[in-house]
A and B are shown apart, each in its own frame.
Chain A
Amino acid sequence: MMTSDTGGRSGTERPTTYIRFDGWLAHVENAFNMFAAFSILALMLLAVAQVFGRLFFNTPIPGFIDITEQAMAIFAFAGVAYCQRVGGHIRMEIVLGKLHGRSLYICEMIGVILIAFTVALLIWGSWFHFDRSWNIGDSTMDIRLPTWPSKLMVPVALSLLFLRLLMQIYGYARLVADPSRAPVAVPVIENVEEVAQHEIEEAFGEETAEGGTK
């Protein structure tokens, strides 16, 4: 749906500083997402231990619910910037899909600016929330885990998201200035055929991998 004519522009016109920073940020985002991924795996193993401990040995893990709840902040927030980068947060593309060129990029940019504004305020607000639990030494009900590390996760993850949003604002701004440039570091819109194609590629990748292991 989105045709980006690079019109013979060569690689020299690509914004290299921007791309370098983008790559650096992407590494941090990937690391955060991997952190979230492993917290899910760890939670899963902990819960299995909890079930076996309780059903067969009558010894549940002390403070299981407290630990789970506090650890949840990792997978609930850490991947938020990664998800924004790959365009994973859902939206409706019925209008955007009809736009082309500059009008499309202006719309996209306004959207991202709104998000950045919201996220900036929420970083501030969630910092208050963390600050309060830090000052009063708030802890969980059962085994008295401090709650501040988990509350700190919110402003930290949102700050990373904010950096990503700044990158995307810049990314769209250079496209607004000259829509014929190749999009760099911004998610591109797909129509329903392309979404379907994407899903198929993912499924195929897995199928191929599966075939390879046999």
Chain B
Amino acid sequence: MTPFEVGLLMTGVLLVLVVLGVRVAFAAAFTGLVGLIIHFSMKMGFERGFFVALKMAGTIPHSKSVTYALSVLPTFILIGFLAFYAGFTKQLFEAAKRWLGWLPGGMAVGTVFSTAGFAAVSGASVATAAVFARVAIPEMLNAGYSKRLSAAVVAAGGTLASLIPPSAILVIYAILVEQSVGKLLIAGFLPGVFSALIYVGIIVAVSAWRGDAPPVKGYTWMERIESVPGTLPIIAVVAIIFCSFFFGLATPTEAGSLGAFVVLVVAFAKGMKTKQLGQALHETAKLTVMIFTLIWGVLVYVRFLGFAGLPDAFKDFIVGLEFSPWVVMICILLAYAVLGMFMDAIGMLILTLPVVYPAVIALNGGEGVSAADSAFGMSGEACAIWFGILVVKMAELCLITPPIGLNCFVVSGVRPDIPVQEVFRGCIPFFVADVLTIAGLLAFPSIITILPSLMG
């Protein structure tokens, strides 16, 4: 067997193992390790080959995990769990309701903004949907909103989590593809806001047309201003992260730590107990180790793939296709949409990017290509950022797509009186909006690339 054939064989084994439900991190480490052993055994005999492979694989967990760039991850995750335990949700919703209730569907608009804010800080789409289903849906129903709209807004609003900083998933993407973490996070900001505004447009249009979401009036300016301080911690965290990167004041780890510290202080001021802090820390540690294990497990496999020459072969295959690069790009994104229906977004990214990302960059014309010579009209770095935002947006879309859009199930689970089909039906306009957003981001990449390009 040639090394390339071994690569193909082991990739097949990995796919089978993952589909059969072996934990992804270890399935990847297993195939990588066995692949390395086979590879080196063929070169230098089993005994020597085995030890070369073993020693090589043995260095990867430590050397790939213990890098400063990755240290930002637990700080972002910590912000999320602390924000959760501190419970900023009610004040956020209250403020949004007072300021925006007068619009047709105004409370739904307020829900989108408050879920977007909370989801951004907590980084947890699904949990956001669960919390807001409890906070926002009863109030919307009381105000005479239809069940379908109320439930759908909560389910869809949660999906805005991954684009607005701080976003752990964008950090993982940036590190995997060796791009600036700061630029990726800044790049997510406009598309995140853009998505939220499109949601708002849809809500206002649908409510005005159907009349199932009457405006809520009667808040004085005084009441509105009184509601602002409760939202400050969330705004502060987003502002700290955004400004730290945009003006280059702090490294990602420092900015994340500062954000976590602010949330911690506010949480204690609001009466968080040490027990809750302990729980938040425990959960943070669990999620952190899960992500790190996934990263090193997959990197063992990627090291083997490199020897087998598979990423290069895939790259040549993609570049050699006779379709327009745009068609290929859309197909790749559709493949992610399908994959996202069966797999968690983080797992999907870490598993596929080492092979898919080089191909996408090659499709654009290579890493150092100038905007003028490239297939998508942007430089290699801009293409990396653009693709990252698109893929993450795609993964979020899967949370409200049948058959297993988890956000819809969560909302229906909190409100057993609203069947899950009803939530999915309510989400159709948002699904269409997301598809249009993705089309918009494909057609006008500058929405994504303009802020990072200003960072210099």
Residues of B within 8 Å of A118, CB to CB, are: 26, 29-30, 33
B67 at the interface (CB under 8 A from A): yes
Q: How far is the CB of B237 from chain A (nearest CB, A)?
A: 13
Q: How far is the CA of A127 from the CA of B58 in the complex (A)?
A: 7
Pairwise interchain contact A199-B24, C-beta atoms closer than 8 A: no
Pairwise interchain contact B21-A48, C-beta atoms closer than 8 A: no
Cβ < 8 Å to B, chain A residues 90-142: 90-96, 107-108, 111, 114-115, 117-119, 121-122, 124-129
B156 at the interface (CB under 8 A from A): no
Q: How far is the CB of B47 from chain A (nearest CB, A)?
A: 15
Which residue of A76, A92, A117 is within 8 Å of B288 (Cβ)? A76
Looking at chain B, what size class is its interface with the partner chain? 35 or more
Residues of A within 8 Å of B127, CB to CB, are: 199, 202-203
Q: How far is the CB of A18 from chain B (nearest CB, A)?
A: 22
Pairwise interchain contact A83-B21, C-beta atoms closer than 8 A: no
Binds B, one of A8-16, A67-75, A174-182: A67-75
Closest to B244 in A: A51
B401 at the interface (CB under 8 A from A): no
Cβ < 8 Å to A, chain B residues 84-132: 84-87, 126-127, 130-131
Which residue of A51, A83, A89, A124 is within 8 Å of B258 (Cβ)? A51
Residues of B within 8 Å of A48, CB to CB, are: 254, 257-258, 261
Closest to A97 in B: B21
Q: How far is the CB of B39 from chain A (nearest CB, A)?
A: 15
Interface of A is mostly: helix
Pairwise interchain contact A200-B87, C-beta atoms closer than 8 A: no
Pairwise interchain contact B21-A92, C-beta atoms closer than 8 A: yes
Q: How far is the CB of A5 from chain B (nearest CB, A)?
A: 22
Residues of A within 8 Å of B413, CB to CB, are: 193, 196-197, 199-200
Cβ < 8 Å to A, chain B residues 354-373: none
Q: How far is the CB of A109 from chain B (nearest CB, A)?
A: 11
Cβ < 8 Å to A, chain B residues 129-164: 130-131, 134
Pairwise interchain contact A47-B290, C-beta atoms closer than 8 A: no
A19 at the interface (CB under 8 A from B): no
Pairwise interchain contact B22-A199, C-beta atoms closer than 8 A: no
Cβ < 8 Å to B, chain A residues 138-166: 150-151, 153-154, 158
Q: How far is the CA of A77 from the CA of B289 in the complex (A)?
A: 6
Pairwise interchain contact A75-B288, C-beta atoms closer than 8 A: yes
Residues of B within 8 Å of A79, CB to CB, are: 285-286, 288-289
Binds A, one of B4-12, B322-330, B382-390, B403-411: B403-411
Pairwise interchain contact B257-A47, C-beta atoms closer than 8 A: yes
Pairwise interchain contact A80-B289, C-beta atoms closer than 8 A: yes
B337 at the interface (CB under 8 A from A): no
On chain A, the number of residues with a Cβ less than 8 Å from chain B's Cβ atoms is 78
A55-83 near B? 1/0 per residue, CB < 8 Å = 10000000001001110110111111011
Residues of B within 8 Å of A196, CB to CB, are: 406, 409-410, 412-413
Residues of A within 8 Å of B293, CB to CB, are: 80, 83, 89
Q: How far is the CA of A96 from the CA of B86 in the complex (A)?
A: 37
Pairwise interchain contact A88-B65, C-beta atoms closer than 8 A: no
Q: How far is the CB of A150 from chain B (nearest CB, A)?
A: 6
B266-297 near A? 1/0 per residue, CB < 8 Å = 00001111001010011011111110111010
Q: How far is the CA of A204 from the CA of B134 in the complex (A)?
A: 9
Closest to B294 in A: A90
Which residue of A51, A119, A192, A209 is within 8 Å of B254 (Cβ)? A51
Pairwise interchain contact A37-B281, C-beta atoms closer than 8 A: yes
B442 at the interface (CB under 8 A from A): no
Q: How far is the CB of B414 from chain A (nearest CB, A)?
A: 5
Which residue of B23, B85, B272, B288 is within 8 Å of A40 (Cβ)? B288
Q: How far is the CA of A206 from the CA of B272 in the complex (A)?
A: 11
Q: How far is the CA of A31 from the CA of B75 in the complex (A)?
A: 21
Which of B's residues lie within 8 Å of A, judged by CB? 17-27, 29-30, 33, 54-59, 61-63, 65-68, 70-71, 74-75, 78, 84-87, 126-127, 130-131, 134, 249-250, 253-254, 256-258, 260-261, 264, 270-273, 276, 278, 281-282, 284-290, 292-294, 296, 342-344, 346-347, 404, 406, 409-410, 412-414
Which of A's residues lie within 8 Å of B, judged by CB? 33-34, 36-38, 40-41, 43-48, 50-51, 55, 65, 68-70, 72-73, 75-80, 82-84, 86, 88-96, 107-108, 111, 114-115, 117-119, 121-122, 124-129, 150-151, 153-154, 158, 192-193, 195-197, 199-200, 202-204, 206-207, 209-210, 213-214
List the 10 closest pairs (A to B, CB-CB), nearest first: A125-B58, A210-B87, A47-B257, A37-B281, A203-B130, A79-B289, A196-B409, A96-B21, A37-B285, A76-B292
Q: List 16 A-B contacts (CB under 8 A).
A: A36-B285, A37-B278, A41-B78, A76-B289, A76-B296, A77-B61, A79-B286, A83-B289, A88-B289, A92-B24, A93-B21, A114-B26, A124-B58, A128-B58, A199-B126, A210-B85
Q: A73-B66, A77-B65, A197-B413 are in contact. List 4 more A-B contacts (CB 8 A).
A: A69-B66, A72-B66, A79-B288, A121-B57
